[in-house]
Amino acid sequence: AALPLPHIPEEYLCPITCQIMSEPVICSDGRCYEEEAIVQWMEGGKHSSPITREPLHQSELFPARSLKSIISKFLANHPGHYKELYLTTGMKQKQRELYSACILADPESVELLCKQFPFLCAIALEESETTLLEIVYQHCDPHILSILLRELPRIHITHVYSSTGIQVQQDLKSEEPERIRKAMMLSFFLVSPESTVVTPVDLMESFINYYALAESSSEYSEESFPEDGRNQSRIQYR
pLDDT tens string 10-51: 999 999 999 999 999 999 899 999 999 999 999 988 888 999
Same-domain status, 211 and 140: no
Contact in structure between 110 and 148 (CB atoms under 8 Å): yes
Which residues, in sequence order, are bridge partners of residue 223? Answer: 234
**Looking at the whole model, is its pTM more than 0.75?**
no
Domain match, 168 and 237 both? yes
Angle (CA) 180-184-188 rounded to 5° is 170
pLDDT of residue 198: 57
Residue at a domain's end among 65, 82, 99: 82
Q: How far apart are the first and last CA of the chain?
A: 35
pLDDT attached to residue 90: 94
For residue 1, being part of any structural domain is answered with no
Q: Are residues 91 and 69 in the same domain?
A: no
4 lies in some domain: no
Identify whether the C-beta of residue 48 lies closer than 8 Å to the C-beta of residue 55: yes
Q: Which whole number is the average pLDDT over 90-103?
A: 93
Q: Is residue 5 part of a domain?
A: no
One domain, residues 67 and 95: no
Give every CB contact of residue 185 below 8 A, 6+ residues apart in sequence.
Answer: 142, 145, 146, 149
Q: Which value, in Å, is the radius of gyration of the alpha carbons in the chain?
A: 23
Q: Band the pLDDT of 220: cuts 50, 70, 90.
A: very low
For residue 203, the model assigns a pLDDT of 59
> Domain limits at 146?
87-152
